[in-house]
Structure 1
Amino acid sequence: MKFSPLMLAWLLPGLAQAAASQDMAALEKLADRFMQQEMAPRQATYKLGKLDRRLVLSACASPRVDWSNTAQTTGNTALVIVCPDSGWSIRLPVSINEKQLGVVLTRSVSAGEVLQQGDVKLVEVANPAMARNVLSNLDLAVGQSMRSGAPAGSWLRSFMVHAPYLVRAGQPVKVEAGGEGFRVLSEGIANGNAAIGDAVSVRLNSGRVIRGVVLPDGTVSLSY
């Protein structure tokens, strides 16, 4: 079949456009790879939407994917796929379900025990209503001291732990008083328990009671 010049002039632009149309499935695969990378360090699952196959875009050699809103990367949100060369951009909906994890004791512990790595583990919180005050990171638990005892399998809540006491009631402590241009050292007896950074009162050998902050070496520091 022969085409007249007029028919060719009408057909060729359409054929060229069809040949150069962007493959929507390829964009969805690119978005899926982006989501796999983004979700790898997170305890979350996702479900990508679909691009409208009726949409015709010019083919892009190097499309880029990013969050449509970097401040919203959970729940119902969207990705944006951009073609720098052609100047088009499209949104692709994505739904993200963030798993909520909580710290659980793996054995029974007593008051005053300092938690070790094997004493705790992360477990998915099936009922978010139960997650109030539950620690969500093992680093927040390991090295902390228990305020009271708890059985194995208990959720570890923030009020159940504290930093280990560096100073205890009745313990002799050094007291450092300092200011601009001077530093004085003395000794006394702690009147309470305190961790690094906590305030504690101390009875000095002179009988005077002062209050200072516990330093990492156990010294109680006063500032003037």
Structure 2
Amino acid sequence: MLSLFLLSVAAPTNLALLDRAAEIFAGARLGEPGGPIAPIDRRLRLANCSSSPEFTWRTDAHDAIVIRCPDPRGWRIFVSVRAIPAAPVAPAAVQQAAVKAEPVIRRGDPVTLEASQSGFAVSADGIAMGDAAPGERLQVKMEGAKAPVQAVAVEAGKATLPGW
């Protein structure tokens, strides 16, 4: 029995099965967008895995699949994935993206910089060093400070510290 066990451990992993499992994991067939670009190189001799190989994405971009044998002396291979073409953008969406919000704070405007949470509020006056629409960042020169403070425009004449 021991020799049979050693024989099964020494047998190479079936690469055709790994190819099919990679297609299933990716959700697309070999060569299709979103699927593996090419089959796993048949010259590889991967040791047999005592448990099922693990499949994960290499990055959030889903550009490669990582196949890993979780055994202590296991192996790891990467399978490149064909990029999925970007969906065409509707003309209305392009127009909306091109429209930039009007600045509510302009360079040289007096700005009240506020930071508050439940139970307290802190404010200070300064001068805007650039233009900013609501939600955009700008630099505010504070009297007595050596360097300007970074702020986020809220409305005309009012800004807050980032994260507040």
Q: TM-score range by the shorter chain?
A: 0.3 to 0.5
Higher-strand-fraction structure: 1
Instruction: Report the structure number with the largest CA radius of gyration.
Output: 1
Report the TM-score, using the length of structure 2 for normalisation: 0.46
